[in-house]
Chains A and B, each alone.
Chain A
């Protein structure tokens, strides 16, 4: 009798150990990546990273020969990323939120289930394919690579995440709130806009931030749409750089290869910080 109890306790302990070990194993890759980026990239971290555009291959070569840090920064990539993300947000968030509300409000309609399946499919479309399609839709008709085309491809990639997170957070809002609004004589649109959306805001905001994180590092679609630029460009109809595009360019130029680490580190830190903010907001806004 007591021996089976002991056996059970031992089994519990072993199980717990295995679970702990395995879950700490999953953290190892992240820390290894961070460590590697820090080790190789810290030398290039300085203010000019944020105030100067990417150096030319020539300048970098000269610096390398004289054993100095590579001059210049990633301002052209940073500004391009911010510009294209901002446009992608403006395009995808209204559409995504409205579709999400529709899906949550018409859970069982045929149309909703079609939209839901299409959204899932869209989520699975490889980013390079999105890039090719936007190339055909936007770049070719406009006869130019552009920040606009880049942001369209990012917006398409953000859309499914925003739709689903809106739907999920709208569904979490208790139905009694809707009834309370109705009982006060409020119209349907007022109930949606002034009661349900604010109550779902936390989840919605988190979902949008995570969608931004997700597309921040996208490279393939931008190669086919925004192309890249060596100067800061704020004209949406012109080719534009982005942080992941710079990483790709640095990687392809032996003189600039050292900058890959610093730039990657920066991109990763941005993504992690936004992620942490998103998680905290989700916690804070949760309806009890």
Chain B
């Protein structure tokens, strides 16, 4: 049983690279366990190409967040969690790299906007630099803040309130600030865990547009509970169920002709 699933996963994990994109992230037999008995992610393998948006879908509790957080080694905050397999970022196994370096190469945006409440908007954007003790002069700082905030379409809204606290912004603006904070470090990869689930439809819409726009420069892996969102913004989609990667294909193919019965059931709303 286990074997057949694994071979299917491999067979289904081949979305073709498009245009000039290259292999950026390779998951090889990645498993994550919260305790010796409980594996939350089981032998996931997948190749992710640069300048694409990859959506991870699946019913709640299927291991989407767990897989995403394995990529930038967030699980190390909790000593009991074990990650096995290989996660190659630009050919280097992140599990062997310096975790601080991994996290700077793979930025993360969370479900709830979490700007640092004691820092100004300006300082929030630069937090990745200041927290890593990277010294910048005033001119460099100003430039990073402006280009990053323009990049997330927040500059015009906040350019006159740079010194205000991040919590002064609306939820959607806060989330864009958090995206800016992650992008300011110029990561190779942006990991997003249901970044719009705490936002209203208008803010959600703006973040989705932003994601499509960011694809020109970045590679994005986004967890979403929302199938139509995945259909709107992603190039490739993964469907996970009970910790397994059931199907991984181009979003168009998956939504029109899913290979797996379970994917079809999920997409047609039979469960989830």
Contact = CB atoms under 8 A, between A and B. Distances in A.
Contact of A185 (B114, B116, B167, B185): B185
Interface stretch (A86-94, A159-167, A190-198, A204-212): A190-198
Contacts of B110: 176, 179-180, 183
A181 B117 contact: no
Given A179-B74, A199-B118, A185 B104 contact: yes
A178 B112 contact: no
Contact of A182 (B77, B133, B185): B77
B131 A177 contact: no
A186 interface: yes
B118 A185 contact: no
A177 B112 CA distance: 10
Contacts of B185: 184-185
Nearest to A176: B114
Contact of A194 (B72, B107, B131): B131
Interface in B99-131: 99-104, 107-108, 110, 112, 114, 116-118, 127-128, 130-131
Interface residues of A, number: 22
Nearest to A183: B108
Interface string B70-104: 00101001000000000000000000000111111
Given A176-B110, A179-B77, A184 B117 contact: no
Contacts of A288: 117, 167
Contacts of B167: 287-288
A67 interface: no
B127 A184 contact: yes
A183 B117 contact: no
Interface residues of B, number: 28
Contacts of B103: 182-185
A184 B182 contact: yes
Is the contact region of chain B dominated by helix, strand, or loop, or is it mixed? Answer: helix
Contacts of A185: 99-104, 128, 131-132, 185
Given A185-B100, A187-B100, A180 B114 contact: yes
Contact of A186 (B74, B112, B131): B131
B57 interface: no
Contacts of A182: 74, 77, 103
A183 B72 contact: yes
Contacts of B104: 184-185
A81 to B, nearest CB: 32
Contacts of A190: 131-133
A174 to B, nearest CB: 7
9 contacts: A179-B108, A183-B108, A184-B127, A184-B128, A184-B132, A185-B102, A185-B104, A185-B131, A190-B131
Which 8 residue pairs are nearest across A and B when measured between Cβ atoms? Answer: A186-B131, A183-B108, A185-B103, A185-B104, A198-B118, A176-B114, A184-B128, A185-B100
